[in-house]
């Protein structure tokens, strides 16, 4: 293909270099002393919000009177308990109704929405300070770092998969949506040329139509960077190519977007404004397929420089399946450990998977994995972390999350000067995320109970397991003794559980509808399954007084025990 450099690429590179170098230098200075940086961060957050409703209720003023770092942490621990979303939700609801100065001064500029542990999505407030000082400035370093390690990353276009910047509004009119979508939408004008398609493309409601439009427009261009959090998206992109290659060829040749896809007239018009007939590129793609049969990204995007995805946690399974589809010299750049609730840090060396914690922006606390869920666990500060130890993460942010339990397990991999480097391992007990769905134990329990009512069946015991290798959930049921259940009825019961989970968890629904999660599999269990399982665990050394069973797990050892029980039921 003919390769033309992105319009204004020299200006883009220069601009990103200047801001990136400046922000990275500031970060390095702060990183010399983690203990000092964390104390300053906590004091700044508490000072900012001491006159808010939450600040007054939790006596931030007196916490700030602490003379030493140790006293500050002690008072904070005494006056503010470790929280879940449900603890902060009443305050967030007051903001949503238009009230100011509840969790932080003023009101949020937006809400980032994400799946909650119940049927209600979380509304994560985003303040102007957080968006500017945490999200935007870390992104500046991120862009600079990518360019530093791959100087030609901006020579072509970037495919960036994000959510809608705006999905709706709270009762007071404050918008909610995707913070990554908002960040992409609000990039400086000089950076507009780097993206392969306008932000309108992410407003397409139909999932398959959205991916068709993304790939139809992008496959025509010289792509040098792909940005998408989840590796499973890379698989979905190629699946779209495999299914609609002929449609791409026709559309590229004629400068169209196929009418077979459900795209609103307004969005279609906006997309077509940047498209014109390109018969030469259509022929190149036609010749590639004639020569190769199966056409992969390394063939249609041979100049690809960087792919930014999550390489840690469960999503690495998908990455392993797709990594060989890309050019050999592609740099796979860990996206960093972050969630809607908090952008915790950034990857400064893309040759590693290590996220450097932004201890100068976010206040962190930690609980060792083995103490997670116990009464009064020891709290560790950032400067106390041990190499290769696994911890649960607690954050305090400039967006009104105080001692918020992220429910994530991370491992400490080293230090960047004095700031810890970590890698995400998995969600903590009770929440599973095979491909970003964040399915909670509570949602699974509620879905089964709803299915019982709908199917008029009674389940004595049930448990679910996530199978990472096959991207599927296995649901095991012990139906009541007085009911004979056929395989057809059991399969219908699993279908009902699946449909209920889709209603409760929009991210689960999205992953199921796009086939990134396969149909869940239902299994019969024999009578007294829980009792048998518990007895076998105790035989293996579990203490009876401490025995507890999470009903939704990612645990191969326990899964194997239930597979064995299933075999005994046949």
| DSSP states of 128-147 | HHIIIIIIIHHHHHHHHHHH
pLDDT surpassing 80 at residue 34: yes
Look up residue 545 and give its DSSP letter.
G
396-419: per-residue pLDDT in tens? Answer: 999 999 999 998 999 999 999 999
CA nearest 397: which of 19, 1, 17, 44?
44
Output the pLDDT for position 301.
97
Length of the chain: 570
Q: Residue 6: what pLDDT?
A: 66
Residues 49 and 103 sit within 8 Å (Cβ to Cβ):
yes
Give CA separation, 461 vs 131, 467, 525, 527, 528, in Å.
45, 20, 9, 9, 9
pLDDT of 466 > 80? The answer is yes
The predicted structure's pLDDT at residue 436: 84
**CA atoms within 13 Å, Cβ hemisphere of 283:** 5
Least confident of 144-158, 404-418, 481-495: 481-495
Confidence band for 542, pLDDT divided at 50, 70 and 90: low
Query: Cβ atoms within 10 A of the Cβ of 125, count?
Result: 26
105 contacts 92 by C-beta, under 8 angstroms: no
Q: Mean pLDDT for the chain?
A: 91
Dump pLDDT digits (tens) for 225-258. Answer: 999 988 878 888 998 999 999 999 999 999 999 9
Q: Is the pLDDT score of 316 beyond 80?
A: no
The reported pLDDT for the residue numbered 5 is 62
Mode of pairing for the β-strands spanning 459-467 and 472-479:
antiparallel
Return the ∠ at Cα 243 (arms to 241 and 247), rounded to 5°.
80
First to last CA, the chain: 59
Q: Using the 8-state DSSP alphabet, how is residue 310 labeled?
A: -
pLDDT band of 315, cuts 50, 70, 90: confident
Which residue in 236, 232, 224, 242 sits closest to 329, CA to CA? 224
Closest CA to 403 of 93, 138, 54, 51: 54
User: Which is nearest to 474 in space by CA: 534, 537, 532, 558?
Assistant: 558
Q: Report the alpha-carbon distance of residue 109 to residue 105 in Å, rounded.
A: 12
- Residue matched to tokens 């007939």: 277
CA dist., res. 118 & res. 560, Å (int): 28
Banded model confidence at residue 544, pLDDT cuts 50, 70, 90:
very low
For residue 209, pLDDT beyond 70:
yes
pLDDT grade for 9, boundaries at 50, 70 and 90: confident
Contact 361, 134 (CB under 8 A): yes
Task: State yes or no: pLDDT of 534 exceeds 90.
Answer: no
Strand pairing category for 521-524 and 472-479: parallel
């Amino acid at each position: 293909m003919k390769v033309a450099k992105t319009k204004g690429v020299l200006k883009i590179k220069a601009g990103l270099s200047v801001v990136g170098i400046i922000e990275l230098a500031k970060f390095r200075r702060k990183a010399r002393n983690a203990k000092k940086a964390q104390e300053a961060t906590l004091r700044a957050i508490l000072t900012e919000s001491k006159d808010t409703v939450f600040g007054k209720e939790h006596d931030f003023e007196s916490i700030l009177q602490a003379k030493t770092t140790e006293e500050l942490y002690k008072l904070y621990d005494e006056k503010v308990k470790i929280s879940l979303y449900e603890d902060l939700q009443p305050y967030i609801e007051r903001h949503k109704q238009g009230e100011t100065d509840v969790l932080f001064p003023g009101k949020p500029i937006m809400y980032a929405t994400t799946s909650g542990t119940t049927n209600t999505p979380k509304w994560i407030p985003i303040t102007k300070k957080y968006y500017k000082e945490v999200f935007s400035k870390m992104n500046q370093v991120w862009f600079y770092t990518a360019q530093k390690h791959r100087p030609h990353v901006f020579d072509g276009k970037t495919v960036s998969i994000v959510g809608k910047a705006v999905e709706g509004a709270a009762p007071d009119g404050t918008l909610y949506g995707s913070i990554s979508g908002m960040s992409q939408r609000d990039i400086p004008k000089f950076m507009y040329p780097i993206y392969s398609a306008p932000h309108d493309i992410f407003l397409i409601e139909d999932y398959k139509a959205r991916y068709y439009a993304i790939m139809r427009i992008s496959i025509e261009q010289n792509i040098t960077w792909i940005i998408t959090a989840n590796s499973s998206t890379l698989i979905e992109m190629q699946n779209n190519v495999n299914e609609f290659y002929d449609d791409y060829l026709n559309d590229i040749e004629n400068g169209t977007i196929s009418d077979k896809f459900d795209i609103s007239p307004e969005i279609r018009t906006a997309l077509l404004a940047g498209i014109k007939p390109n018969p030469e590129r259509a022929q190149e793609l036609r010749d590639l397929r004639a020569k190769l049969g199966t056409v992969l990204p390394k063939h249609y995007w041979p100049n690809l420089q960087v792919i930014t995805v999550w390489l840690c946690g469960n999503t690495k399974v998908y990455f392993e399946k797709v990594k060989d589809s890309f050019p050999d010299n592609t740099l796979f750049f860990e996206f960093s450990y972050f969630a809607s609730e908090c952008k915790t840090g950034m990857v400064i060396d893309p040759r590693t998977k290590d996220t450097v914690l932004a201890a100068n922006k976010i206040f962190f606390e930690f609980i060792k994995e083995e103490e997670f869920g116990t009464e009064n666990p020891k709290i560790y500060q950032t400067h106390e972390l041990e190499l290769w130890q696994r911890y649960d993460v607690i954050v305090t942010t400039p967006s009104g999350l105080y001692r918020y339990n992220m429910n994530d397990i991370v491992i400490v991999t080293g230090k960047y000067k004095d700031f810890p480097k970590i890698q995400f391992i998995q969600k903590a007990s009770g929440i599973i995320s095979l491909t970003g769905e964040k399915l909670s134990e509570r949602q699974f329990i509620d879905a089964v109970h709803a299915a019982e009512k709908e199917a008029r069946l009674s389940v004595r015991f049930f448990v679910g397991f996530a199978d990472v290798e096959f991207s599927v959930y296995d649901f095991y049921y012990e139906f009541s003794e007085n009911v004979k259940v056929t395989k057809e009825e059991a399969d219908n019961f699993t279908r009902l559980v699946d449909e209920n989970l889709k209603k409760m968890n929009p991210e689960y629904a999205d992953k199921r509808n796009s086939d990134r999660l396969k149909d869940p599999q239902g299994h019969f269990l024999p009578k007294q399954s829980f009792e048998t399982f518990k007895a076998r665990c105790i035989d293996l050394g579990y203490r009876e007084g401490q025995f507890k069973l999470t009903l939704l797990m990612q645990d191969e050892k326990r899964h194997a025990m239930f597979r064995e029980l299933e075999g005994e039921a046949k």
